[in-house]
């Protein structure tokens, strides 16, 4: 068991292995790639920018394994002096991330719910509190937890495809986004938009997301990574130290709120998700998804 206050992932064996340096083929700069199961990470040492690609078919859902790998990847990059920024995108067409994996919240025991929720918190604390510049290149739909990942970055660029949508749609599943999802959302879109969007569980098509400030910019899909790199270069032109202190000053209040209520938040989640009415909602939602597929 983890001692209190220690990150949950300290107790999980690291799944991270450094791959041998890639030969500098088409790439202009030396580049380190890391083999992972669900997330592909490549660090370009010349620019200090890591590219993180979610590749967990079919829809990059945030399972316990995915979240753990994500947190460990972030931690590794955070501690790597060669890395100053991360671009987060998806290797799967049409979907950035479908959000929390409902399988982890349905029909499991209390211990599992607790472990899962701690991993969700961990991922957010690492990403929202990252010292690195974080740019989300949202190249597909991004509901719920997928939206949270984008919201937690410093800058959000989305493919200008009106078929792609983004939002915290938890309410549509009969569940409630936790207070720190809400705080992160309010920091981006303000109170009025957050209030109606969260209550309606809205998924906003890309053009609407831009209008609401939920994403900062839309670009044609084929230019998404190019644009993300240009934005990243602009952010990295600033000295790290002042930028990091500024970022921390802006986000500290919201981060601290979860840190100081972490255990209550886990208990609340376990209690909420264990309710038969909620379990029923989730089962119905999953069956609906299955029917949709077939």
Contacting positions for its own copies (CB under 8 A)? 154-155, 170-177, 179, 182, 186-192, 194-196, 198-201, 213, 216, 234-235, 238-239, 241-243, 245-247, 249-251, 277, 281
Q: Regarding beta strands 31-35 and 39-44, do their DSSP bridges make them parallel or antiparallel, or are they unpaired?
A: antiparallel
Residue with smaller CB distance to its own copies, 161 or 187: 187
How distant is the alpha carbon of residue 84 from its chain centre?
Answer: 18
- As measured in angstroms, the least distance from the Cβ of 7 to its own copies is 25
Sign of the C-alpha dihedral, residues 55, 56, 58, 59? negative
- As measured in angstroms, the least distance from the Cβ of 133 to its own copies is 8
Q: Is residue 100 annotated as part of the catalytic site, yes or no? A: yes
Tell me how far apart the alpha carbons of residues 225 and 94 are, in angstroms, rounded to a whole number.
15
Tell me how far apart the alpha carbons of residues 232 and 209 are, in angstroms, rounded to a whole number.
21
Residue with smaller CB distance to its own copies, 54 or 113: 113
> And the tokens for 291?
């029917």
Q: Is residue 169 annotated as part of the catalytic site, yes or no? A: yes
Element (H, E) at 205: strand 204-205
213 backbone φψ class: left, alpha, beta (φ>0; ψ -120 to 50): left
φ, ψ dihedrals at 286, nearest 5°:
-65, -40
- Residue from 60, 169, 173, 201 carrying the catalytic annotation: 169
- As measured in angstroms, the least distance from the Cβ of 217 to its own copies is 11
Residue with smaller CB distance to its own copies, 62 or 194: 194
Residue with smaller CB distance to its own copies, 27 or 289: 289
Q: Is residue 69 annotated as part of the catalytic site, yes or no? A: no
- Residue from 129, 145, 146, 201 carrying the catalytic annotation: 145
Hey, which residues are catalytic here? Answer: 100, 145, 169-170
């Amino acid at each position: 068991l983890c001692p209190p206050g220690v990150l949950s992932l300290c107790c999980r064996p690291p799944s991270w292995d450094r791959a041998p340096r890639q030969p500098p083929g088409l790439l202009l700069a030396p580049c380190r790639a890391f083999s992972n199961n669900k997330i592909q990470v490549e660090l370009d040492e010349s620019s200090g920018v890591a590219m993180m690609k979610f590749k967990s078919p079919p829809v990059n859902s945030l399972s316990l394994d995915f979240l753990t790998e994500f947190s460990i990847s972030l931690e590794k990059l955070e501690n790597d002096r060669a890395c100053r920024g991360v671009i987060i995108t998806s290797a799967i067409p049409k979907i950035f991330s479908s959000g929390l994996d409902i399988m982890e919240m349905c029909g499991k025991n209390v211990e599992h719910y607790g472990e899962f929720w701690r991993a969700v918190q961990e991922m957010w604390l690492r990403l929202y509190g990252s010292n690195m510049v974080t740019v989300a290149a949202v190249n597909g739909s991004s509901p719920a937890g997928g939206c949270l990942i984008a919201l937690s970055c410093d800058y959000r660029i989305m493919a200008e495809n009106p078929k792609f949508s983004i939002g915290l749609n938890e309410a549509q599943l009969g569940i409630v986004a936790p207070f720190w999802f809400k705080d992160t959302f309010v920091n981006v879109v303000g109170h009025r938009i957050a209030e109606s969007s969260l209550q309606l569980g809205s998924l906003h098509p890309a053009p609407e997301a831009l209008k609401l400030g939920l994403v900062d910019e839309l670009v044609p899909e084929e230019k998404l990574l190019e644009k993300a790199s240009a934005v990243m270069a602009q952010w990295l032109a600033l000295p790290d130290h002042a930028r990091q202190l500024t970022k921390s000053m802006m986000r500290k209040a919201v981060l601290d709120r979860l840190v100081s209520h972490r255990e209550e938040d886990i208990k609340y989640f376990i209690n909420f998700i264990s309710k038969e009415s909620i379990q029923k909602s989730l089962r119905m939602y999953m069956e609906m998804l299955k029917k949709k597929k077939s």
